[in-house]
Structure 1
Amino acid sequence: MNSIEIKNITKLDNLFETYPLYKIMYPDENEQIFKNNLKWMFEHNIEFICATDNQNIIAVCAYWLGVRLHSGKYLQIDSLIVQPEYRAQKIGQKLINFIENIARKEKAKYYVLDTYSENNKALKLYSKNNFAIKGFHLMKLL
């Protein structure tokens, strides 16, 4: 691990480079669907950050700002993924810190995320950062 840098991804082509990372979390992900989804997200102001080591993307995370009637402005974290060989090196922590600073700058009242209940490593990281389970994320497939 040389020089880890956290930065915004501002070009769609650079986002397409994150496909191998997403395959780690979502092994059945189709590359064309992935690219279509990224294109839609990029065009609809979903922001992306990454961690790089010598210009190689080793971690990625998406986020967006929103407003809820009952609780005001918030920031949503989506798909925080770190390459396995870089885990346990505080890279996930650096991404969370970076996003928390954005949330504070944007005057969000809180920030939220979803994770799989069986993802114990992620749950440990989020718990360490004072995220608390406040409800359930319900989904119905269409």
Structure 2
Amino acid sequence: MTALKIKRLFKEDINIFLPLVHELMGNTIENELLIKRFESMFEQNYECQGIFIERTLVGVFGLWFATRHYCGKTCEPDHVYIIPEYRRKGLGKDVFEWIFDYAREKGCETSELNSYVQNYPSHKFYLNEGYEIWAHHFLKKL
């Protein structure tokens, strides 16, 4: 496979990466609402990264940065998505190696993430990448 390139994407690039986020989420959120949420996210401690092979966008992920009392400065990968035809080729491993190196450069001590309960392939992948299951993530709509 041709060399992987990870490139930071900005609010102005939303129309480039939003279709991949919709694929990940199964189009469960209206486009206008998702755009508003991403615009707000870009104003917080959030970065969006595109995964490119040559000039083709083959994936996307976000990174959240925070300091937490139990683990120190942390980097949280979010909405990690690689289009199906590029999966199972080692790309995910390369992406997470890049994430860990980038997080260390930014002074992070840890990385934590959430994974959908039914996404068993991602659980296996994250465990193989050294993540440990520490908690359950709870959500309450207000």
| 2:133 counterpart letter in structure 1 | I
1:124 has 2:124 as partner: yes
Deviation at 1:54, TM superposition (A): 2.9
| 1:108 counterpart letter in structure 2 | C
Superposed CA deviations along residues 90-125 of structure 1, whole A, max 9, x for unmatched, are: 222222111101121122121000001211121121
Deviation at 1:75, TM superposition (A): 1.0
1:56 has 2:56 as partner: yes
Paired residue for 2:20? 21
In the superposition, the TM-score normalised over structure 1's length comes to 0.90
Paired residue for 2:99? 99
Paired residue for 1:108? 108
In the superposition, the TM-score normalised over structure 2's length comes to 0.90
Paired residue for 1:4? 4
Distance 2:137 2:4 in 1: 33
Distance 1:47 1:120 in 2: 26
Query: Are the aligned partners of 1:8 and 1:49 in contact in 2 as well (CA < 8 Å)?
Result: yes
Distance 2:29 2:71 in 1: 34
Deviation at 1:3, TM superposition (A): 4.0
Distance 1:90 1:15 in 2: 26
Distance 1:72 1:97 in 2: 20
Tell me how large the CA RMSD over aligned residues is: 1.5
- Structure 1's unaligned 5+ residue stretches are none
Q: Count residues in correspondence.
A: 141
Deviation at 1:56, TM superposition (A): 2.1
Distance 2:72 2:60 in 1: 26
